[in-house]
A and B are shown apart, each in its own frame.
Chain A
Amino acid sequence: MIGDQELRDAARAYEKALLASLPEPKDCPAAFSPSFERKMKKLIFRVDHPVLYWLSRLLPVLLLAGLAVVCALLLSGRAAPGRPLDPPVPAADGSVVYRPTWLPDGYVPDRETRYGAEVMIVYQNDDGGQAVFLYTTDGQPWSEEDLEGGMAVLVEDCPAVLRLRQSKGDLNDLFWTDEEKGASFWISAPFREEDMIRVAESVEGQEAALVP
């Protein structure tokens, strides 16, 4: 097992060596083509005059976006998934970890890591199959890009999105946001549809600390 601190130290050491092998920025001549300079002037204009720049583009973009939303609603007959979360309420002792309390046979915890507001728990079976349970309490919902291609399901009473594998070897993904728990959850696993939902519905807050 590679510890987080060990990984941080090694990543910093490697980056330092990598940069030491490169010339200093002041020693790198900026020899660009005229077309690049033109593109960059446009970008810098965007940065310097954002209102002028975007006013010229905002109207058609909004019209197109509105049209796309109307089409999507007409086609799907439902609202797009995902909504902003209320800021999570920190636990009194700060040590609650959400975990599934049920998994299909054969899967056992392999490692658990916390990185800021994210907790990731990896489960493995004897055949090397992996399932990942991840949640974040950063207060942001899943983006539409995350949920693209999924179908609406329910995890208990919470609206969720299930995206089934497109090809052999892909994992199924289940996303949901539980405002009561103040977290957005994601399971990525090779489980059947009903098992994905069963795993999601078994998630409980536990006071036990993370197992590295």
Chain B
Amino acid sequence: MLTIYLSAIESPEEKIRFETLYDTYRGFMLKIAAQVLHGGQDAEDAVHSAFLSIAKNMDVVPPLDSPKMQGFLYIVTRNKAIDILREQGRREEEGPLEEQLVYTSPDDGGHLAWCISQLPPRYQDIILLKYSHGYSTREIAGLFGISFTTASKLDQRAKNRLRELCEKEGIL
């Protein structure tokens, strides 16, 4: 891990990228963390944790001008905020966060997209990173700070839950 960290931060381009990311997106990331943790010190801790994870994984961070960047930061920050919820023993949401509901009915964005929106945030995060951003399970494990097997199991559970939701909605 130490080697990965050192290799990740040795390039001057990546240093500039990291600082630009910090300057441009920290307010946005705080807003995301505050949605999950309802503000305060915890939200700041989630943002800090997200930047730590980003510094360790600079090789998989999208380019600064990529349209994927905002979504990537959204997912990483929300994931770190959920980690803080779990560490504090606060109940993890069984469904989507109320503040993050974007569809009012299955007809809004397509039935499968609606089913994804109904998943708990942790399951949404892995589905989005893997299927919207194209990350491998190993890369996701690095970003989330979990083992490959834990990430694989999370992916498997997310897809099982999605399938159940789709069956309930009559999509499958």
Residue B19 lies at the interface, judged by CB distance under 8 Å to chain A: yes
Inter-subunit contact A39/B153 (CB<8 Å): no
Q: Which B residues are in CB contact (< 8 Å) with A148?
A: 147
Enumerate A126-161 residues with CB–CB distance to B below 8 Å.
132, 134, 136, 138, 140, 142-143, 145-146, 148
Inter-subunit contact B48/A50 (CB<8 Å): no
Q: How far is the CA of A68 from the CA of B163 in the complex (A)?
A: 44
Residue B117 lies at the interface, judged by CB distance under 8 Å to chain A: yes
The main secondary structure of chain B at its interface with chain A is helix
Q: How large is the interface on B (under 10, 10 to 19, 20 to 34, 35 or more residues)?
A: 35 or more
Interface string of B138-172 (1 = CB under 8 A from A): 10000000011100110010010011001000001
Q: How far is the CA of A145 from the CA of B149 in the complex (A)?
A: 9
Question: Which residues of B are interface residues toward A (Cβ below 8 A)?
Answer: 2, 5-6, 9-10, 14-15, 18-19, 22, 24-28, 30-32, 41, 44, 47-48, 51-52, 55, 70-71, 74, 100, 102-103, 108-110, 112-117, 124, 127-128, 130-132, 136-138, 147-149, 152-153, 156, 159, 162-163, 166, 172
Q: Can you list 30 A-B pairs with a CB-CB distance of less than 8 A?
A: A1-B172, A7-B131, A10-B110, A12-B131, A12-B132, A13-B109, A13-B110, A14-B109, A14-B113, A19-B74, A20-B102, A22-B28, A22-B32, A23-B28, A25-B25, A28-B31, A29-B27, A30-B27, A31-B30, A43-B51, A43-B52, A47-B9, A48-B15, A115-B136, A117-B136, A132-B152, A138-B138, A142-B148, A142-B149, A145-B147
